[in-house]
Amino acid sequence: MGNRVSILVFGTSPPCQKCLQAEREARQAAAQFPPGEVTVEKQDAFSETGQKYGVMITPAVVINGRMVAAGRLLTEPELVELIKKERGD
């Protein structure tokens, strides 16, 4: 229980509204857990990291190395559930 969770939010540069919203939702979800347990990092979809995860459509969300959404905006409650699963809560 309480495993660390890393969230990567992939978007375009400059970011579109959906990409900005995806990052906002992820940060709000992360804020519901103890500080430092859930990290959120914004990444460019066309970066090497984006290629590594096969990002073809934005926004895309990767949690602990696993793509959980592509081309779809995850809401804060959806992300909280995914984080809880990842943590083993």
pLDDT band at 15 (very low <50, low <70, confident <90, very high): confident
Q: What whole-number percentage of the chain has pLDDT above 90? A: 91
Residues 47-71, mean pLDDT to the nearest whole number = 96
Please tell me which residue, 1 or 73, carries the higher pLDDT value.
Answer: 73
User: Which tokens in the block code for residue 64?
Assistant: 């602990």
pLDDT at residue number 22: 97
Place of tokens 């959980």: 68
Whether pLDDT at 34 is above 90: yes
For the entire predicted model, the pTM comes to 0.94
Whether pLDDT at 56 is above 80: yes
What is the homologous superfamily of the domain 5-81 according to CATH? Glutaredoxin (3.40.30.10)
- Residue 12 has, within 13 A of its CA and on its CB side, a CA count of 9
pLDDT at residue number 3: 83
Q: How far apart are CA 12 and CA 31, in angstroms?
A: 24
For the chain, the domains span 5-81
Angle at 56 between CA 53 and CA 60, to 5 degrees: 65
